[in-house]
Amino acid sequence: MNNPKNQKKPKSNLKMNKQKRQDPQSLKDIRIPVEPLIPECEVCEKQKAHFYCTVCKVHYCQNCESQVHTSFLKKKHQEFTFQEPYDPQENNCPIHKNNNLSRYCKNCQKLICDKCVFDHTNHETIAFDQPMDFYKELINEQKKCTQNHFEKINEKFLQLNNSEKDIKSKKEKIFREISKFYLNQKKLLDLLEQNEIKLANDFFEQISQSMNKEKQTINDLKYSTETLLKQFNKLESNIKKSNSFGFYKLFSQIELAKTQEKPKSEFPRLCNEHKNKPYEFFCLDHKQLLCSHCLILNHNNCQKSKNLKEGYVIIQNELEELINEIISINEKKEEFVRKIQNEKINSLKDKQINIELVKKNYQKLNELTQYQFKKMNEEISIQQNEKYLKLNKQSMKMQKEIDELNESEMIIKEIEICKKYNDYQQILINFSKLKKLLPILNKNEKNQLICNSKFNKINIISNDLKKNLKNWKLNLPFDPNKTQINLPNEIQLENKLQFSILLKNQFNEAVNAQEFNPKAEILKSNSNEMITEITKFKEGTNQELIGEYLFQKEGEYQINISINDQKIPKSPFKLKVIDHFFLEESEILQKENNPKFNQILEKWIKEAGCNPNLQRRFNSRTDGWKHQTFHEKCDNKGKSIILIKLKNKSLFGGFAAIDWDSRSGWKQSTGNKSFLFSLISLDPKFKKPLKMHVYQDNKYEINCYKNFGPSFGHGSDLSLGWNNQNMNEWNYSNLGWTYKPPFGYKFGSNEAKIFLAGSYENWDIFQIEIFCEK
């Protein structure tokens, strides 16, 4: 990038050279065709762009110009202005009107078309597009290589992102599996506890129910056997008394078990089948009473048929054996139940111990997995950060190369535009810029031989253009009357190199300083005594010493300028050095020791129509912090500027374009030229001085309330209340109501409140100074 000090000041309008060549303009005044190249405004996105800044890389329209650049910042930025092109017929050949001027004749020193070449057969001509075509090919090749490399880096970024996503997905899967395992373990533990308790309860209930049933059955059997024994005893006594069987009915074991008490009834003495025959026998096989016919007819094969007395004895013995067996079985059941109960109790205890062990193992597993998970995250993050840093460095390098290649493309476009307007001086400037960018193209090994082989041809072409340009511009032999050099009549001391740089630029625009031997003599105004002379006009030579000398010495001087020992018109020039410094009484600006602040404030108040010769009327260090003192010293004293310095190093203030007074009310100046400013802000987005003008609610420009200090805006945008005991109280700021806040900030937002002072209210003020016209 060029040094902003060496850049030329833009002129108001750029006119086409129809007759003779005018003084060249810098890149920022070149008019580029609007259609179809102009994009939309990137700020409002409504209108087409009128400007493009190569530093900020922003397209913007006229309405959004103040939001992107302030008047101060625009100086250091390179700005292109878009405008409709001139009539294309003006670039046609004057002889062959339908043909464009595409070649340059070195002998005739003018542009010609293809048909004019036949009229210049013995002359040396070159193609105007020859060097630009080479640059285009070279830049396109390098741009392809850089873009391919950049795409590879982007692919690596994508791979990294994909790997990071895969790792994250794996992490999530592992975490999900672990969480599922944890949940399953918990569920199993809960189910084990619940099931074991339920099973134990159910088992005990079943055992208790079965025991109760067995007890009932045993009791019923006992009762039935006892009743049978009683019945048989009665039968036996009846049989003894009488030979007949008896008149009592025999009940079966099942019938006796159903009911505890049975009604007595008479026993049948005769057989049901053979009604005339009485019962005399008892069949042990079928358990049935028999008569003599039944024994012979139906129970002939039964071997265990006895008489009634013997049958009774047998049944009695069988019943006793049955009772003994039931009692033994009952005892075995009770022992078995006891064993099962003991085993269940022991198993429950073992399961509780196992559950506690599982819980402990679960906790250990949880701790180990969390530790491993943290370690894995740390290792992955370290590796990913290292890869990202490497790729970021590579991408930054490639982005720089791409920006430089884009800049070279812009220069080639500007060369084509300069060709349309016959601006050869600007073409040479653009060629020199391209030469500076060529080493970047030589970094590519494939293009290195191409660059080295063709670069000499470009040098030859550009040198030929230079020589022909000098001859064409000065119209050899040299005529000093056609050389114009404009110098200022006065120069201020704060711009100590302004004279040197301006003189160098004027010489470089007018003549070639190396071949035509320009010379400038610095003389005293009262006598012809020469102080020094300038013979070289390059950076770092003795013209800078002249600037330093003039900075130290105040007075009037004469400057004789000659070229090849011939004086140019208007020589000698008169130059007056003024020892003037804006707000030189300010203690705040003296401590800052930054002359740019003085220059910026002087420029701003001159734009507001204020005389820069202001006098200090109020100083908080000596006058205190009472608002009455402010009104006594500053009321009705004309326009004024306020400087506020805080202990946190913030420096800001305001300019009132109308008198202060003690009437309680709002005031408005003609044209609303008051403004607020910030020279040093704690906001990292705005490190350079910023001016904030009135943009709405104009009638609330300043507030002249008698119980307050200076106050700006209805918000209040800036208010100094000044308590009588403490200057730090009743002070606050809220930009955006009357005065336009910085770009992107709104009234009431935290950024708008803390922009000037670093906090909304109750500032820690170091010093306040107020300067007035009267």
- Which pLDDT tens digit goes with each residue over 15-54? 444 433 334 333 333 333 334 446 778 788 778 777 777 6
Q: How far apart are CA 440 and CA 402, in angstroms?
A: 10
pLDDT in tens, 516-536: 566 777 777 666 666 666 665
- DSSP-assigned letter for residue 764: -
Confidence category of residue 657, pLDDT binned at 50, 70, 90 = very high
Using DSSP's 3-state secondary structure scheme, residue 9 falls into coil
What confidence score (pLDDT) does residue 113 get?
A: 82
The sign one gets for the Cα dihedral 740, 745, 749, 753 is negative
Give the DSSP letter string of 320-364.
HHHHHHHHHHHHHHHHHHHHHHHHHHHHHHHHHHHHHHHHHHHHH
pLDDT, tens only, 82-98: 544 434 444 577 777 77
516, 563 in Cβ contact below 8 A?
yes
Q: Which of 432, 394, 441, 434 has the alpha carbon at shortest distance from 143?
A: 441
CB-CB contact of 502 with 487 (8 Å): yes
Instruction: Outline where DSSP puts E strands in 490-529.
Output: 490-492, 518-524
Lowest mean pLDDT of 228-232, 414-418, 460-464, name the range. Answer: 460-464
Least confident range of 195-204, 271-280, 335-344, 582-591 = 195-204
Task: Write out the two tokens for 650.
Answer: 């913030």
In this structure, of 150-159, 265-274, 487-496, 741-750, the range with the lowest mean pLDDT score is: 487-496
The mean pLDDT value for 729-740 works out to: 88
Find the DSSP H helices in 526-678: 543-552, 587-592, 595-607, 620-623, 627-634
pLDDT band at 264 (very low <50, low <70, confident <90, very high): very low
Q: Residue 418 has what pLDDT?
A: 67
Q: Greater confidence, 373 or 720?
A: 720
User: Tell me, what's the pLDDT at 468?
Assistant: 40
Task: Give the residue among 748, 747, 716 at the shortest CA–CA distance from 732.
Answer: 716
Q: What is the pTM of this model?
A: 0.35
User: pLDDT > 90: what percent of the chain?
Assistant: 11
Amino acid 659: pLDDT: 92
Single out the residue of 739, 661, 736, 662 nearest to residue 698, CA to CA: 739
pLDDT number for residue 658: 93
pLDDT at 16: 43
Q: Is 15 helix (H, G, I), strand (E, B) or coil?
A: coil
% of the chain exceeding 70 in pLDDT: 51
Task: Tell me the C-alpha distance between 588 and 380, whole Å.
Answer: 54
Q: Tell me the average pLDDT of the chain.
A: 69
More confident residue, 202 or 435: 202
The dihedral over CA atoms of 412, 416, 419, 424, expressed in degrees to the nearest 10, equals -10
The whole-number pLDDT of residue 570 equals 61
Domains and their CATH numbers in the chain = 182-372 (no CATH), 480-578 (2.60.40), 587-772 (no CATH)
**Pairwise pLDDT comparison (598 vs 11), residue with the higher score:** 598
Whether residue 420 has pLDDT greater than 90:
no
Q: Phi first, then psi: give them for residue 270, nearest 5 degrees.
A: -110, 155
Nearest partner of 420 among 92, 79, 81, judged by Cα: 92
Q: How many CB atoms are located within 10 Å of the residue 314 CB?
A: 13
CA distance 242 to 309: 13
Q: How confident is the model at residue 120 (pLDDT cuts 50, 70, 90)?
A: confident
Instruction: Identify which of 602, 620, 619 has the alpha carbon closest to the alpha carbon of residue 611.
Output: 602
**Chain segment 161-204, per-residue pLDDT in tens:** 777 677 767 767 776 776 676 677 667 666 766 776 677 667 66
Instruction: Work out the angle at residue 166's Cα, subtended by the Cα atoms of residues 165 and 171, and round it to the nearest 5 degrees.
Output: 95
Kindly list the distances between the CA atom of residue 102 and the CA atoms of 114, 130, 464, in Å, as whole numbers in the listed order. 7, 10, 16
Do you know the residue count of the chain? 774
CB-based burial label for 197 (10 Å; 0-12, 13-18, 19+) = exposed
Q: 323 falls in which pLDDT band (50, 70, 90)? A: confident
* pLDDT attached to residue 25: 39
Q: What is the mean pLDDT of residues 749-771?
A: 91
Asked if the model's pLDDT at residue 676 lies above 90, the reply is yes
Q: What is the pLDDT of residue 309?
A: 66
Coil, helix or strand at residue 562: strand
Whole-angstrom CA distances from 403 to 132, 146, 407, 435, 605 are 19, 11, 6, 16, 39
DSSP helix/strand/coil, 765? strand
pLDDT at 38: 65
CA distance 48 to 53: 15
Which residues face 711 on adjacent strands? 703, 719
Most confident of the following: 158-162, 297-301, 454-458: 297-301
